[in-house]
């Protein structure tokens, strides 16, 4: 299959570019995993960190990409959540041990044995990718592939932050910075009847925030 691989981490403008188009074998799903044909993969700034070496190499010539939407085309042994043809999403968080104190207390994001898509394991800048079925999401039919892809990272982060803020309807929410996660969280908050105020230096971002219905946007 065709895939993008980080040959040698370096600034993205380098010549040659650290991200190279290569041929890799189609991965075989391990027990508990499914094989997914990639339909869309978003671009996250973390992918740039992996490519440029800001995140130290965990796997030589890794394929980045962790905002993945695709269809299940094969299953490993002991899988039962998904069937062939299901459209699913694959996020950054790929694996947790399930037995440490963080996992057992519902804080698996803090698991010291956690693994990540596109860093510890090949990600979605490829034609096929595998994922443990417990760390994938069903994608509702109402979302197009390219619309759903950013939800697998920016959407998850923004939604979790909004839940933790616990702002009641009619309350006020301040967002500092207005990137991928913030602009999705803002839309959810506004739909919930929350008054959203944005603080960001970017003039385009300020304009975008107001277009989305935020009450104010300033630097």
Residue 62: per-residue pLDDT = 98
pTM of the model: 0.91
Residue 81: per-residue pLDDT = 96
Using 50 as the pLDDT threshold, list the residues of the chain that sit under it: none
Please name each of the domains of the chain with its CATH number: 2-143 (3.90.180.10), 156-218 (3.40.50.720)
- Which is it for the CA torsion 23, 26, 28, 34, positive or negative? positive
Residue 151: per-residue pLDDT = 96
Residue 205: per-residue pLDDT = 96
Residue 144: per-residue pLDDT = 97
Residue 5: per-residue pLDDT = 98
Burial class (CB in 10 A: 0-12, 13-18, 19+), 188: middle
Phi and psi dihedrals of 139, rounded to 5? Answer: -105, 120
How many CA atoms lie within 13 Å of 26's alpha carbon, on the beta-carbon side?
A: 10
Residue 66: per-residue pLDDT = 97
């Amino acid at each position: 299959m065709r895939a993008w691989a980080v040959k040698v981490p370096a600034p993205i403008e380098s010549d040659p570019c650290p991200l190279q188009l290569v041929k890799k074998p189609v991965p075989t799903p391990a027990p508990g995993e499914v094989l997914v044909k990639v339909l869309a993969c978003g671009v996250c700034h973390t992918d740039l960190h992996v490519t440029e070496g800001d995140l130290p190499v965990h796997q030589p010539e890794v394929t980045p990409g962790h905002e993945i939407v695709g269809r299940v085309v094969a299953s490993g042994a002991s899988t039962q959540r998904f069937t062939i043809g299901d459209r699913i999403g694959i996020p950054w968080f790929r694996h947790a041990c399930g037995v440490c104190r963080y996992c057992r207390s519902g804080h698996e994001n803090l698991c010291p044995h956690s693994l990540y898509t596109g860093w510890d394991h090949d990600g979605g800048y490829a034609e096929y990718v595998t994922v443990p079925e417990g760390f994938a999401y069903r994608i509702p039919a109402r979302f197009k592939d390219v619309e759903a892809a950013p939800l697998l990272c920016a959407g998850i982060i923004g939604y979790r932050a909004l839940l933790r803020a616990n702002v009641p309807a009619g309350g006020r929410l301040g967002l500092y910075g207005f990137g991928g996660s913030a602009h999705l969280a803002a839309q959810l908050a506004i739909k919930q009847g929350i008054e959203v105020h944005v603080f960001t230096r970017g003039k385009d971002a300020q304009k975008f925030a107001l277009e989305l219905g935020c009450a104010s946007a300033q630097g």
